[in-house]
Amino acid sequence: MAAGGPCGKKALSPAAGNGRASRSRSGSPSRQCGDRVGDIKRIDWPATLSAAENLRQRQLVQLKKRRQRPAPQRLHLLLLDSSGSAAASLPLAKGVIAELSRHCYLQREQLTLFSFAGERVERRLKLQRAPKRLAPLLQRIGAGGGTPLAEAMNQAQRFIRQARARQPGCEIQLYLLSDGRSRALDQLQPPEAPLLVIDTECQPVRLGRCRTLAARLGADYRHIDSLQTATGATDNQETENE
């Protein structure tokens, strides 16, 4: 049997005619072998074997590699309860949102923010790459009025459908930050995206409606007390002081 390179037969090695030169250019034989194994895994064999040039010359002169699929875009949709009953916990909720925005910024992920109070649901931040600092925008959100939770969830559903139509394959994470003090809880339907309910209820007497809501909608549940960190507290102070 004819001598071959470290990874197989002599004919498969582009530099097999000069093993000494090959090792001097590419490093150790084991490293060459690892590189070639990685290349082989990326070859699209059906496309390679059917390539016109390979068929014409009856040998593999042209290798076709698989196209690497880009990672799906990740979108974060936040619904912030800014009603009168949530006023006491609104600074804490803003701190959580600011920290989440910073995390999304570092991951180059997209974020949009809606607030709801009284009879209105307002888009505070259009869908975009998450900003590094969200404090100036959050500062402009005040509290007061009722809790139009049903309309906020309806708008979230519409946004999810539109986002998937514009960006097929995108991953959407929905967040609801609320104290759950709404008469519309029984009207809500499970959203068409994973939902995290962040319970902002901080009143002395707690009704626990968000926990019940999360269970009914098949959502994850966290109380805001469990999300408070030193960083979040700092963001909260910046939001209030700017």
**pLDDT tens, 172-208?**
999 999 999 998 888 899 999 999 999 999 888 889 8
Q: Which domains are seen in the chain, by residue range?
A: 14-57 (no CATH), 74-241 (3.40.50.410)
pLDDT of res. 170: 94
Q: Which residues pair with 117 in a beta bridge?
A: 120
Examine the pLDDT at 57 and tell me if it is beyond 90.
Answer: no
**Model confidence over 102-128: pLDDT tens digits?**
999 999 999 999 999 998 999 999 999
* Residue 91 to residue 103: CA distance in whole angstroms: 19
Nearest CA to 197 out of 212, 181, 216, 175 is that of 175
Question: What is the average per-residue pLDDT within 58-67?
Answer: 74
The model carries a pTM of 0.68
| Cβ atoms < 10 Å from Cβ of 178 | 28
Sheet with 74-81, strands from edge to edge, namely 120-129, 110-117, 74-81, 171-178, 195-199, 220-223
Q: Looking at the predicted structure, is the pLDDT value of residue 157 above 50?
A: yes
CA 7, CA 24: separation in Å to the nearest integer? 16
Residues belonging to the chain: 242
60 vs 27, higher pLDDT: 60
- State the amino acid at position 238 in one-letter form: E
* C-beta of residue 100 within 8 angstroms of C-beta of residue 78: yes
Does 22 score more than 70 pLDDT?
no
